[in-house]
């Protein structure tokens, strides 16, 4: 009976050794792959070299794009209330100067979202905020920043007020 117990324990020991060796091997492989990925992503990363010719071509095409006739988008007239007392109504008509035709198409597709964001900006203003020239310039900058945040590829260069009445 003692011989029978020794024969059972021997395969169990061999199986344990095989599993331990497999575990060590898998861990070493995983560490090696992880180390390679860290090295290639950090120390071993080489930035792509850009030649001065490529940069000059990109700069020239960008300058040509800037010198093209600007694309203007006329938003519908906005009527909304200003914050504060006494209650005042503002009527604004905006023209948006777009950087290129791609942005022009994108602002057209923006539609009601763009109008809503402009209305929310104007609703947060008081008469005192918009009374001065500096206040109107701040309003323009806020509108440009808000619309550029909504656009993916297009850029709003400037906002022009073609109608600005506060009652």
As given in the structure block, the two tokens for residue 53 are 């010719």
Give the whole-angstrom CA distance, residue 12 versus residue 46.
51
**Is 163 in contact with 92 (CB distance < 8 Å)?**
yes
* Per-residue model confidence (pLDDT) at position 159: 93
Tens of pLDDT, residue by residue over 25-34, are: 999 999 999 9
Q: What's the pLDDT score for residue 10?
A: 60
Per-residue exposure over 137-158, b if at least 16 CB sit within 10 Å of its own CB, e if not: eebeebbbeebeeebeebbbee
Segment 99-123, tens digit of pLDDT: 888 888 898 888 889 999 999 999 9
pTM of the predicted structure, to 2 decimals: 0.61
Asked whether 68 and 133 are in contact (CB, 8 A), the reply is no
What mean pLDDT do residues 148-166 have?
A: 90
3-state secondary structure at position 12: helix
DSSP-assigned beta bridge partners for residue 89? 81
């Amino acid at each position: 009976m003692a011989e029978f117990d020794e024969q059972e324990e021997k395969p169990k020991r061999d199986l344990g050794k095989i599993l331990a060796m497999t575990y060590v091997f898998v861990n070493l492989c995983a560490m090696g792959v992880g180390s390679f990925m860290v090295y290639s992503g950090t120390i071993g990363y080489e930035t792509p070299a850009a030649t001065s010719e490529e940069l000059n071509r990109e700069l020239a095409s960008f300058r040509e794009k800037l010198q093209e006739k600007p694309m203007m988008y006329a938003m519908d007239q906005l009527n909304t209330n200003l914050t504060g007392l006494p209650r005042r109504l503002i009527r604004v008509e905006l023209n948006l100067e777009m950087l290129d035709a791609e942005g022009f198409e994108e602002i057209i597709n923006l539609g009601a979202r763009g109008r809503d964001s402009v209305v929310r900006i104007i609703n947060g203003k008081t008469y005192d905020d918009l009374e001065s020239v500096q206040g109107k310039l701040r309003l323009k900058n806020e509108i440009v920043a808000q619309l550029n945040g909504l656009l993916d590829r297009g850029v709003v260069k400037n906002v022009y007020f073609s109608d600005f009445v506060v009652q």
